[in-house]
Chain A
Amino acid sequence: MFSYHLRLALKSLRRTPVVAALMIGAIALGVGVCITTLTVYRLMSGNPIEHRNDVLYSVTLDSWDPAQPWDDRRPELPPSELTYTDAKALLESGIPVRQVAMRKAAVVVEGDPATRAKPLLVEARTTTKDFFAMFDVPFRYGAGWDRTADDGAQHVVVLSDETNEKIFGGEDSVGRTVRLNDSEYKVVGVLKQWAPTPKFYDLNNGAFNEVEDIFIPFSIGIAEQLQLSGNSNCWGNQASNSFEDFLNSNCVWIQYWVELADRGQADAYQGFIDNYVREQKQLGRFQRPLNNHLRHPDEWLKLNRVVENDNRVLVGLSFMFLAVCLLNMIGLLLAKFLGAAPLIGLRRALGATRGTIFRQHLVEVGVIGVGGGLLGIGLAALGLLGVRDLYENYDQLTRIDLSMGLTALGIAIASGVLAGLYPTWRVCRVQPATYLKTQ
């Protein structure tokens, strides 16, 4: 029965090729535009660490200016980063399963003097050792470093896949050395391709920036006074005349995350940071009300408004455009179906039930939906290719995967059928007698 309906549907569409093309075109355009904006939106609003969402927490303490909140527009928020003093104190806690203090720095990779290769400026993440295990970072060769490397500011480095490609041509470089800022570092690990989008672990320095080129122990950044290349914010007025002064200042510049196994541990840790702040209050620091938070990655992404408003507006407008396309299609279908009313009248008179007529027309709108959907995916791919130049580091954002393709097809068929329901219902109510009389 289905193949019969399908044959009839194709026949009917071929009878009015222009109208059929217009209808399929309208759905394709609507779906194409929606999928283009949705793809970008979905990747922007994604949570790349969803599988560890329940155990990971960003840590924020309200160490800001008693005279004014960190964010005037959202006074309830504490600063998104920690001071060095506080990060150092929190690292002493034994409660978390894992914890990480980190920041960005700029480092020069010196070329091999033999080849006179040009020195290369790279972005480094200086971090404590747990970074890799906490964030499930994939390694191609080797692994991260251990506690002793952190404690002793040992010269060890983990390279990104790309950096390893640049310096060592992609070979297993574990055990070899690179010269960073005038001293030797031993390579202990090389990452696999890794591009969490958004870059949830550091939203302060570009939520869609690329992952850093190299990773070195946090303690090196302090011992060697590496220039901070990320964001840093200070309040009040304090004289600073040395790196030491900067470390002891109220400036916030360190991202801090912890891994807590369960609810009990989370409560214990919240108690720990609250107690810490209370102690500090007695020393005259932390003069704002107690406002310390542990937030899961999903909450953290939302709070930091990673998805641009522009993007939401575009998705909304795309769906309004899809609505216009569907209205257009309903109009065309109605005209087409009712134009064939005499034929329907004849078939009904010859014994076709309303149900048969209904199913047959539904198959027809289904065909239009599938056609429009497939064409729409093609258009969306073109559209994403077209907008690729408008994004930077956004290759991750402008990619259609299987689930997006299925979504496209789903939207197309659903909207096709939805749009087809009314005209189909109308045509089923055709009274055979009306049309038979005029024959």
Chain B
Amino acid sequence: MEFRPILSAMLRNKTGVFLVGLQIALTLAVVANAAFIIMQRVEKIHRPPGIDSDNLIVVQSYGFGSAYDHRAAVREDLDTLRAMPGVVAATSINALPMSNGGRQSNYGVVPDPDKAQTNANTYDVDEAGVAALGVKLAAGRAFTQQEVQYNPVATNSDFVPSVIITRDVEREMFGDEPGLGKTIYDGLGQSAVVVGVIENMLGAWVSFDKPSHVMLLPRVANGPTVRYAVRAEPGRRDALIAEIEKKLSESNLHRAITWVRPHTYYVERSYRADSRMVAFLGVIVALMVSVTALGIVGLASFHVNQRTKQIGTRRAVGARRIDIIRYFMVENWLLTTAGVTAGSLLAFAFGFWLSAEYSLPRLQPAYVVAGVVALWILGQLAVFVPARRAAAIPPAIATRTV
């Protein structure tokens, strides 16, 4: 293919070519970085939560007045919940996983407060906790009824006889050794034995840098606000929500059932900032690509109009339609290549700036490569329409005008 004549023809419209080239460069810089951010957020949102979130119902009860007996109310509520058909298991719990609200504390492997370095998000659950949350035990067992503690003073600093930890906590505390059966200590030097290790469970804060540092404690969550995690049989969740609301609201007048919700409500809320970013960026990427494609079509159309006579002449002296089409395709390819070369540099510079300024992860080169390929294809597709129009110019045009 003869590049030189194509190049010199392009240089006759320097400004137009430069504008579209710059457009392509900017588009690559934005699209590569946006796609990179989108992929990260999508991965984050689709992380396995470790709990059976889809079948989980969460309930909040708030007791008030002197006649409210927290311990008795919790026992009664759990009896009611567990007796309902369609309920797999139910536990009281102090806070909701993945809800952006919870409690965390430091723990260590020796009874020295200064060496309590492992930060864990803790949940008070009872003997049904493991079954109700639907977490998978990798080793050990769930809590027994005898282990479950209760101290009516909400601000007490008691510890518990046993704990269940996630793999991530096990790894941080014990390295490669199994944690099962080992003793851990809280900040006051009180000890607990690890009776179970669960595969995975995301804690309260989805954007926390150690989201799966979670520890379950056998304890009845203190009142007067208490939550219940109720695991439903698959497909029964929504029907159960209404039933639970009705049954619990009627059962005890010394408390209010604040809400009964699917756990996914909180998952969706917690990831909302990320879904929002995905949505916004997705729209910007789509619009940007369309506008750039239109720019390419516009430039090529302008060139076709400008070169009607030349094209007619070329056709008259023997060029085939395919030659004309190929001419525009090659011209576009040259233009896109120039654009993406500048764009790659711009993309990396932009990515670097984003990671430095907003502490986002550094742009992976694969996204730039994918962007380059996509823009090449986009350019060829966009130029095809005007190119076909150019190829349709009859050779007679050349003879008609001077």
Contacts and interface: CB of A to CB of B under 8 A. Distances in A.
Interface of A: 19, 22, 26, 29, 33, 37, 67, 106, 108, 110, 118-121, 181-182, 227, 229, 236-243, 245-246, 308-310, 312-314, 317-318, 320-321, 323-325, 327-328, 330-332, 334-335, 339, 383, 387, 390-392, 422, 426
Contacts of A33: 283-284, 287
B272 interface: yes
Contacts of B26: 320, 323-324, 327
A302 B20 CA distance: 39
Nearest to B222: A227
A236 B189 CA distance: 12
A327 B30 CA distance: 15
A241 B157 contact: yes
**Which 4 pairs, one residue from A and one from B, show the smallest C-beta to C-beta distance?**
A237-B187, A182-B65, A119-B256, A390-B276
A29 B289 CA distance: 12
B287 A119 contact: no
A347 to B, nearest CB: 22
B341 interface: no
Interface stretch (B47-55, B292-300, B377-385): B292-300
A67 B113 CA distance: 12
B22 interface: yes
Given A327-B22, A390-B279, A391-B276, A119 B64 contact: yes
A408 to B, nearest CB: 17
Nearest to B298: A332
B295 A313 contact: no
Interface of B: 15-16, 19-20, 22-23, 26-27, 29-30, 33-34, 37, 60, 62, 64-66, 113-114, 116, 153-157, 186-189, 224-225, 249, 255-256, 258, 269, 272-273, 275-277, 279-281, 283-284, 287-288, 291-292, 294-295, 298-299, 302, 305, 354, 358-360
Secondary structure at the B interface, as helix, strand, loop or mixed, is: helix
B64 A331 contact: no
A392 B270 CA distance: 11
Contact of A387 (B20, B113, B280, B284): B280
Contacts of B15: 334, 422, 426
Contact of A106 (B33, B225, B305): B225
Contact of B62 (A67, A108, A327): A108
A330 B19 contact: yes
Given A121-B62, A182-B66, A238-B157, A317 B188 contact: no
B295 A331 contact: yes
A313 B354 contact: yes
Contacts of B187: 236-237
Contacts of B281: 314, 317
B30 A320 contact: yes
Contacts of A243: 153-155
Given A239-B157, A241-B153, A245-B155, A181 B291 contact: no
B256 A120 contact: yes
A240 B186 CA distance: 14
Contact of B155 (A229, A241, A325): A241
A426 B16 CA distance: 12
